Amino acid sequence: MNRCPSRQTRTGGMMLPGLLLGLLLTLPSPPAFSEGRLAGTGGVSSINGSGGGGLTGWATLAGYADTGETSGTVYASRADVDDFRLDVFGASATFSNRLEIGLARQHFTIKAADARIEQDRFTAKWRMAGDLIYGKLPQLSLGVEHGRLRDTGTALALGAADTQDTDYIISAARAWIDGLFHRTTLLNVNLRRSQANQYGILGFGGDDPGREWHAEGALAWFATRNIAIGAEYRQKPDNLSALREQSARDLFLAWFPNKRVSVTAAWLDLGAIAGQSDQTGFYLSLQAAF
């Protein structure tokens, strides 16, 4: 595995986004700020690059652009489990509460080796029908997520068939204003067609291809107008005979002090990763919307 992950020095990867966020918090709201949708309806930023939850995107579109508006987000996330770390930096734009496009860079670190694998993510999501809150039909979205590995050595050495591929996702989301215990309650379900090994970080496909369609679900409960707690579940492909892959899940707390920023913390259970079993740990994500 001599072509694999490039060695690199440890840097404070979260420092710059943190400063950026601090700066944004102190700025007054410009009048052009697109915020036609209600607080919290943009969700947070997933590690995949799509807006929604943390582990996976939802049918919701990132930011707060309503009809006729445009909005954007920038974010930084870190998932830190026993033997690995994933840092994600990304940005997205949403047009008229109809189309969301996103770009993200993932940095995956194998702690023991201090080695890194990078992946670029390109995402798009189209709201086909319905609405998250209003009307009879839940919000129905169609998403594509393209992953392209920048460091391909590890994936190829493990037997992955490809170093880039595209996921297709059908999502439905509904938020009940007067939901469980009279608190706003959101439910999202996804069906994802994917061959990604560990979100694409270990490539796509392999010598022992499993099923291609995977179920994902999320439940969020707004204890207050600004604080949501919830859980997510994500089935994953299992394509590499050498390495078993399991479903991922999390319990999260998201704080939306206003429509400009959100902070998400989660407890993660990612199952086995690259031969290391029971990978649990913490997730932290900061998002700024404008």
Residues within the interface to another protein (CB under 8 A): 36-39, 66-69, 97, 133-135, 176-185, 187, 189, 219, 224-225
Q: How far is the CB of 183 from another protein (least distance, A)?
A: 7
How far is it, in rounded angstroms, from Cα 172 to Cα 190?
A: 7
Nearest to another protein of 69, 232 (CB atom): 69
Q: Which secondary structure element, helix H or strand E, spans residue 22, and what is its range?
A: helix 15-26
The alpha carbon of residue 1 and the mean position of all alpha carbons in its chain are separated, in whole angstroms, by 29
Q: How far is the CB of 35 from another protein (least distance, A)?
A: 8
Nearest to another protein of 226, 246 (CB atom): 226
Q: How far is the CB of 40 from another protein (least distance, A)?
A: 12
Tokens of 272: 């086995």
Q: How far is the CB of 281 from another protein (least distance, A)?
A: 25
196 touches 180 (CB < 8 A): no
Nearest to another protein of 164, 226 (CB atom): 226
Q: How far is the CB of 78 from another protein (least distance, A)?
A: 30
Count of beta carbons in the 10 Å neighbourhood of residue 67: 9
Beta-carbon contacts of 144 under 8 Å, excluding residues fewer than 6 positions away, are 123, 124, 125, 166, 167, 168, 169
Nearest to another protein of 7, 178 (CB atom): 178
Show the beta-strand stretches assigned E in 29-83: 44-45, 51-52, 70-81
Q: How far is the CB of 233 from another protein (least distance, A)?
A: 10
Q: Considering just the CA atoms, what is the radius of gyration of the chain in Å?
A: 18
Q: Which secondary structure element, helix H or strand E, spans residue 155, and what is its range?
A: helix 153-158
Q: Is 260 in a helix, a strand, or coil?
A: coil
Nearest to another protein of 69, 167 (CB atom): 69
Q: Which secondary structure element, helix H or strand E, spans residue 17, and what is its range?
A: helix 15-26
Nearest to another protein of 69, 250 (CB atom): 69
